[in-house]
Amino acid sequence: MLCEECRDELSSPIKITPEQIQLYAVRPTRAALVDLWGRPHRLDPRTLIGRQVDGQGLAILEPSVSRHHAHVLLDDQGQWAIRDLGSANGTFSDDRLIETTSPVKDRDRIRFGHIAFYFIGDVEQLPVPKLGRTMTATIRPKDVSTTPSPEFPQEPDEERTDVGLPTMKFKLHEPTGGGGGLIEVDGKQVQLTTTQFELMALMIRRMSAESHQPELVRGFVRSSELIADLSWDTREPSENHVKQLVRRVRRALMKSEIGDLIESRHRFGYRLRAIPRTE
């Protein structure tokens, strides 16, 4: 079973049912793709992912998935990789578009069109679900802890009242061709997708522009403004999409050893947990 946060990571604006994901394996390995419902789909050494798999592979019966979308491959050295087959809506690893054959690691989040999975290198390491009235076993990514810690604090919707914000140097590098951007924070860099980059850029600008405001309320951006102003990949973005976006940016910042720079406060919205340094 997946924890609630991991289910959010795999969820999409496209609603599907378990019956729309069907596995036809011939020589299943220990590796698997885990779907939104926590079900592991064991992979063959060469697994075709697509809307029509002709008797062998993982069929995803959803329009954003191409007829033959991608291959998941095991090489002679025991390493797994993923290759896009010219799909219409792309194959992504942790929100990075795969353009060539790319290695895939344990607990990576893989998305085909709008449908996402976790890649698990060895299903025997997964907890055994306790089936019955309650299902208590969970699968969590490596970077998510069940208890708060300085490195990975609990993120969801808690009310914060941080004051004494640090001053930090931010540099934004946005390629002219689009496709996201690079943010540098006190010399440490993080690559973000287009929507993630826009979120950070908006919060940086807002915090800089509201220097006249008391620090306790300075720099907040409401969810309604984010829904209206950011470049979403869905026609009807919602509060849930904003929460997922913020979670992903927090994780990207922490993985890059920058730290959690997004503060959330009930009725106020989200803001940068730092004051941008002007030079």
The two three-digit tokens of residue 195, written as one number: 């929507």
Q: Could you tell me how many helices (H) and strands (E) the chain has, helices first?
A: 4, 19
Q: Please report which confidence band the pLDDT of residue 6 belongs to, taking 50, 70 and 90 as the band edges.
A: confident
Q: Which domains does the chain have, with CATH numbers?
A: 4-125 (2.60.200.20), 167-276 (1.10.10.10)
Smallest CA-to-CA distance from 15 within 32, 36, 44 is with 36
Strands of the 57-60 sheet, one edge to the other:
21-24, 57-60, 46-50, 70-74, 80-84, 102-103
Residues 21-58: pLDDT tens digits? 999 999 999 999 999 999 999 999 999 999 988 878 99
> Whole-model pTM above 0.85?
no
Q: Check the CA dihedral 32-102-90-192 and report its sign.
A: positive
Report, in this order, helix, strand and coil percent for the chain, each rounded to 5. Answer: 20, 25, 55
Percent of the chain with pLDDT over 90: 56
Q: How many CA atoms lie within 13 A of 39 on its CB side?
A: 11
pLDDT (tens digit per residue) in 108-147: 999 999 999 999 999 988 876 654 433 434 444 444 433 4
Find the mean pLDDT for residues 149-173: 62
Contact partners, residue 191, CB within 8 Å, separation at least 6: 96, 180, 181, 182, 252
Q: Which pLDDT belongs to residue 150?
A: 40
Higher pLDDT, 27 or 174: 27
Least confident of 51-55, 148-152, 235-239: 148-152
Whether residue 207 is predicted with pLDDT greater than 50 in this model: the reply is yes
